[in-house]
C-alpha cells in the first residue's frame, strides 16, 4: 500500500483547490483520486459548447437522475455533475456569484465558528484574479480568473434596461454587498476560455513532484483503524488498490457522492447501513440529510431577432468558432447567462430572495438535459434563493459503482411554491416591458394559457426544476444532524474531512461555485495549521 500525507477524494470544484494549496510547500505528498477523466476538450474549453456538447454527455457529465418527486407530480430531475478534472466547474454556467454576507453570518450563528462573512472574505479574495482589479471585496493575482463578458448580445442589454424600467437598480458589481439589483454576469473565464478549478488550480500544481493525480479512480471506501481514517480503497483499470494517508483523507466528492462514500465506508445512519449489510464504523444520522437546492423555472419566449441558438449551424460554428479561437470573443465565448438580477419578491427593504438569469438563446431544461430550440428565442431562469424545503441523499446499493438515490422534495414546504409563483409572474412582466418587449414574438413556456394563480401552481408542479445547485448533505454545525465541525472534520472520527458543497448548512444566495472555491481555500489553511 502506497503512503501519502494527504489523499484528496475528488478532483472537482473544491478538491482541485485543496490539492493545489496543500502541495505548495513542496514537501507534503498529496494524492488526488478522480473518478472522471481528463478535462482537455473543446467541450470544456469553449464556453458556449458546454451547453451543447458537455451537459448530459456521459463523457463529461455523470448525469444523475433524481427519484420521482412527490411534491411535483412525480417529476424526475436531471442532475448534472462534472465527470472530468475540475468537476462541475468544468461544465457549469461559469457565473461567479458569492451570495450575501448574511448567508455566511447565518452559518456562524449556527455554530460554525470562523465562517462569518468577515472571516471568509479574505479567502474569496485570495482565490480571485478579477479582471477589474483588486478592491475591498475583490482580489487580483489569485489562481481563478473572473472576467467580464467579452461579447454581449443586444437582447441582454434590452433585458437589463427592462429590469431598470421596472424599478430594479442597475449595479456595476453584483458581488459587492448588498446583493440587490441587476448587472452583467462575471464569469470564470480567462481570455474567453472557461477557467475551471482544474485549469486554475490543479493543472499548474501538477508540475510539482509532491502531487500525483489519478483519473478514472473509483473510490470504494475509506479505510479505518478504529475511529481513525487511515486511507482509501479504490478501483482503477479493473484493479482494486489501497492508498494510505498519514495525515488526513479529505473527501471532496460533491453533494451526492460524498455522503454516499461515507455511508459505503460505514459512516452514516446506522439503520440505513445495516439495511445494506454495511458494518457500522460510526453512527452519524445527518449523513445524506439536509439536501437543499434552488427551486427554479426556465421561462422561454420566441424572439423576432436572431438569438444564439439559431447562430450555431455549420456556417455559424465555423465563423464563430474561428473568432473564438483567434480572439477569445464572439458568441462562442458567452457564459450560459449574460445578465443576472437579484431582488426581493415583495419589494421594500430586506434581503433579495429571487435571482433571475437571462440567456439570449432558447432552450428547454428537460428531464434528459438541455434541448436547444430551432427558432430564435430567449430564456429567463429564475431561482428561489433561500428555500424552506429539504430533501435527502441515500444508498441504493452497497455497490460503490451504483448511483446514490436523490430525493429533492423541492416543494415540500408550500412557501417555496408560492414564492416561485410570484417570481415567475414578475419575470413574465419583464418580458413584456420595453425595450425588451419589442423583440419578443410570444410566450412559449409557459404559454398564454397559464394565467391564474391556480394555473401557475399546476404549471410549476409539473415544470419547476432543480437549479443544479445541490448542497448540504454533510452539513457543518453542532446540532444532531451536523456531519462535520467548523474545521470540516467528520464528527467523532479522526483524520477525516469533508470539503465541498455538501458541508454548507444552508444554501448560499446564488450560484455556489465561488463558495466551493472559498471552502477549498479555507480548509487547506485549517489543515495546514493543525499539522
Binned at pLDDT 50, 70 and 90, residue 158 comes out as very high
Share of residues in the chain with pLDDT > 90 (%): 90
| Mean pLDDT value of segment 322-333 | 91
Binned at pLDDT 50, 70 and 90, residue 193 comes out as very high
Query: d(Cα 92, Cα 426) in Å, to the nearest integer?
Result: 26
| Mean pLDDT value of segment 48-71 | 92
Write the secondary structure of 399-461 as one string of H (helix), E (strand) and C (coil).
CCCCCCEEECCCCCCHHHHHHHHHHHHHHHHHHCCCCHHHHEEEEEECCCCCCCHHHHHHHHH
Q: CA torsion, points 484, 32, 125, 163, in degrees to nearest 10? A: -80
Look at the chain and count its residues: 531
Q: What is the CATH number of the domain that holds 35?
A: 3.50.50.60
Check residue 41 and give left, alpha or beta (phi > 0: left; psi -120 to 50: alpha).
beta
Task: Give yes or no for residue 364 having a pLDDT over 90.
Answer: no
Share of residues in the chain with pLDDT > 70 (%): 99
Task: Give yes or no for residue 315 having a pLDDT over 80.
Answer: no
pLDDT in the model for residue 503: 98
Alpha helices in 246-377 (DSSP H): 254-264, 270-275, 314-327
Give residue 353's domain range.
2-530
| Mean pLDDT value of segment 486-499 | 98
Model confidence pLDDT, tens digit, residues 419-438 = 999 999 999 999 999 999 99
| Mean pLDDT value of segment 371-377 | 88
Q: How many domains does the chain have?
A: 1
Query: d(Cα 338, Cα 329) in Å, to the nearest integer?
Result: 14
Kindly name the residue from 153, 469, 486, 497 that is annotated as catalytic.
469
The answer to whether 497 is a known catalytic residue is no
Model confidence pLDDT, tens digit, residues 68-97 = 999 999 999 999 999 999 999 999 999 999
Query: d(Cα 156, Cα 184) in Å, to the nearest integer?
Result: 9
Check residue 141 and give left, alpha or beta (phi > 0: left; psi -120 to 50: alpha).
left
Instruction: Report CA-CA distances (Å) from 473 to 85, 221, 255, 259, 406.
Output: 22, 18, 6, 6, 11
Amino acid at each position: 500500500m502506497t503512503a501519502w500525507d494527504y489523499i484528496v477524494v475528488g478532483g472537482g470544484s473544491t478538491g482541485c483547490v485543496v490539492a493545489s494549496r496543500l502541495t505548495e510547500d513542496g514537501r507534503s505528498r498529496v494524492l488526488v483520486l478522480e473518478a472522471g477523466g481528463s478535462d482537455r476538450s473543446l467541450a470544456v474549453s469553449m464556453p458556449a459548447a458546454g451547453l451543447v456538447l458537455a451537459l448530459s454527455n456521459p463523457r463529461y457529465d455523470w448525469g444523475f437522475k433524481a427519484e420521482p418527486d412527490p411534491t411535483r407530480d412525480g417529476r424526475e430531475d436531471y442532475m448534472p455533475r462534472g465527470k472530468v478534472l475540475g468537476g462541475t466547474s468544468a461544465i457549469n454556467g461559469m457565473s461567479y456569484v458569492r451570495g450575501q454576507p448574511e448567508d455566511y453570518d447565518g452559518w456562524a450563528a449556527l455554530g460554525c465558528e470562523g465562517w462569518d462573512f468577515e472571516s471568509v472574505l479574505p479567502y474569496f479574495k485570495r482565490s480571485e484574479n478579477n479582471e477589474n482589479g483588486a478592491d475591498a471585496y475583490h482580489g487580483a493575482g489569485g489562481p481563478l480568473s473572473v472576467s467580464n463578458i467579452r461579447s454581449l448580445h443586444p437582447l441582454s442589454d434590452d433585458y437589463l434596461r427592462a429590469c431598470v424600467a421596472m424599478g430594479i437598480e442597475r449595479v456595476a458589481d453584483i458581488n459587492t454587498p448588498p446583493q440587490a439589483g441587476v448587472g452583467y454576469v462575471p464569469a470564470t473565464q480567462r481570455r474567453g476560455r472557461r477557467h475551471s478549478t482544474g485549469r486554475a488550480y490543479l493543472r499548474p500544481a501538477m508540475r510539482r513532484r509532491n502531487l500525483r493525480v489519478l483519473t478514472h479512480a473509483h473510490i470504494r471506501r475509506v479505510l479505518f483503524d478504529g475511529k481513525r481514517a487511515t486511507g482509501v480503497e479504490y478501483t482503477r483499470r479493473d484493479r482494486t488498490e489501497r492508498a494510505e494517508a498519514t495525515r488526513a483523507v479529505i473527501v471532496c466528492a460533491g453533494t451526492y457522492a460524498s455522503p454516499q462514500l461515507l455511508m459505503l465506508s460505514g459512516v452514516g445512519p446506522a439503520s440505513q447501513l445495516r439495511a445494506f449489510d454495511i458494518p457500522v464504523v460510526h453512527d452519524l444520522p445527518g449523513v445524506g440529510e439536509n439536501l437543499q437546492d434552488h427551486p427554479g423555472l426556465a421561462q422561454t419566449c420566441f424572439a423576432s431577432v436572431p438569438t444564439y441558438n439559431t447562430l450555431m449551424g455549420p456556417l455559424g460554428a465555423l465563423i464563430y468558432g474561428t473568432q473564438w479561437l483567434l480572439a477569445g470573443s464572439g458568441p462562442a465565448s458567452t457564459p450560459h447567462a449574460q445578465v443576472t438580477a437579484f431582488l426581493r419578491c415583495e419589494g421594500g427593504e430586506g434581503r433579495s430572495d429571487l435571482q433571475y438569469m437571462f440567456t439570449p438563446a432558447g432552450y428547454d431544461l428537460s428531464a434528459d438535459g438541455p434541448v436547444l430550440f430551432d427558432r430564435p428565442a430567449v430564456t429567463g431562469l429564475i431561482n428561489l434563493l433561500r428555500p424552506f424545503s429539504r430533501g435527502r441523499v441515500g444508498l441504493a446499493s452497497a455497490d460503490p459503482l451504483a448511483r446514490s438515490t436523490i430525493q429533492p422534495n423541492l416543494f415540500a414546504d408550500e412557501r417555496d411554491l408560492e414564492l416561485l409563483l410570484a417570481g415567475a409572474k414578475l419575470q413574465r412582466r419583464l418580458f413584456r416591458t420595453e425595450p425588451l418587449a419589442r423583440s419578443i414574438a410570444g410566450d412559449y413556456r409557459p404559454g398564454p394559457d397559464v394565467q391564474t394563480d391556480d394555473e401557475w401552481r399546476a404549471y410549476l408542479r409539473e415544470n419547476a426544476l432543480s437549479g443544479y445547485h445541490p448542497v448540504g448533505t454533510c452539513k457543518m454545525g453542532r446540532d444532531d444532524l451536523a456531519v462535520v465541525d467548523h474545521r470540516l472534520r467528520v464528527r467523532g472520527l479522526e483524520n477525516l474531512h469533508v470539503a465541498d458543497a455538501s458541508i454548507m448548512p444552508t444554501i448560499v444566495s446564488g450560484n455556489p461555485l465561488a463558495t466551493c472555491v472559498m471552502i477549498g481555500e479555507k480548509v487547506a489553511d485549517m489543515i495546514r495549521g493543525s499539522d
